[in-house]
Amino acid sequence: ASRDQLTNVAGLPIVYHHVAAMPDVHLGIGATIGAVIATRAAIVPAAVGVDLGCGMLACRLTLSAADLDAKCLRRIFDDIARNVPVGRAQHADADILQAVAQPFAPRLKPLTERHPGLLKTLGRQSKWPNQLGTLGSGNHFIELCLDEKDRVWLMLHSGSRGIGKAMAEYFIALARHDMARELAHLPDRDLAWLDEGHPHFADYVAAVAWAQDYAQANRAALQDLVLATLARHLPPFSVSGEVVNCHHNYVAQEKHYGARVWVTRKGAIRARKNDLGIIPGSMGARSYIVRGKGNPESFSSCSHGAGRA
């Protein structure tokens, strides 16, 4: 079934050069999860997916396994569970994240003014500031883990929450509407695309950029909440080295094989030469901090992992 989906996508007239499948490729909506799709002057919203900007964050702390014990970890777990809303839950008071949310409101207003239908779709997501610093459901997670030298890491997986999903679903429906006459000729109605130059294309790109930035800010806010929790239970520590914060559901304009194209990574991370990335294992299995090799055949990408058995 995954091979059939890859073949369907590869046959679209807007696809450039080839479609790259990652090692953990599996069935998705319209396009497989674990696919990298380069397109000329068009984007397939359903191929980008509904959790826009979903991704990973990891940072190493100046703590070691010796600083942790079972009793302390239980207190930390309970404290994180109290302080971080999960699933449909959100923070009761958005004031604690007002500074993080402030830059997003002016960018959202013109979009909703041009698309009153989007405002209606957002519905209960009007409280998106309250969802910053919150964890999704499904395979989203917060984890404390040890590396091969017994150093402590914080790792987490979350995205653009309810508002990103609402935006994605709105533009997926819009793409189907705009291509209504051509839908019968597509191998899958979820492969409807938006053409560059059409007003809906520019608005979709703006919505995706907003949601991707929001997702990145959400992960950073989650990091701050968890680190504050750890500080209440552990000896003084700091973050050591670079924080890795990467998307694995997103679209970006890049240059490949001599052309400027739109690259959709649906369940894949960017792995240009020396880019840092994260491939999480299933719960209880090893996760990996990786450095990109810039492989042209993968459009400088690698697998995203993120399974939670």
**Helix segments in 115-198, DSSP class H:** 116-122, 161-178
User: In the structure encoding, which two tokens stand for residue 208, read together?
Assistant: 């995706």
Instruction: Answer whether 276's CB lies under 8 Å from 244's CB.
Output: yes
CA distance readout (Å), 23 to 55, 160, 298: 18, 25, 11
Token reading at 242: 């670079």
- Which residues are CB-contacts of 110 (< 8 A; sequence separation ≥ 6)? none
Q: Measured between alpha carbons, how far is 184 from 187 in angstroms, rounded to an integer?
A: 8
Catalytic choice (115, 247, 248, 304):
304
> Token pair of 260, please?
């400027």
Q: Measuring CA to CA, how many Å separate 153 from each of 63, 257, 288?
A: 8, 37, 11
Q: What gap in Å lies between CA 229 and CA 126, rounded to an integer? A: 28
Distance CA 206, CA 217 (A): 17
304 carries an active-site annotation: yes
For residue 182, give both structure tokens. 């051509």
Tell me which residues are annotated as active site: 304
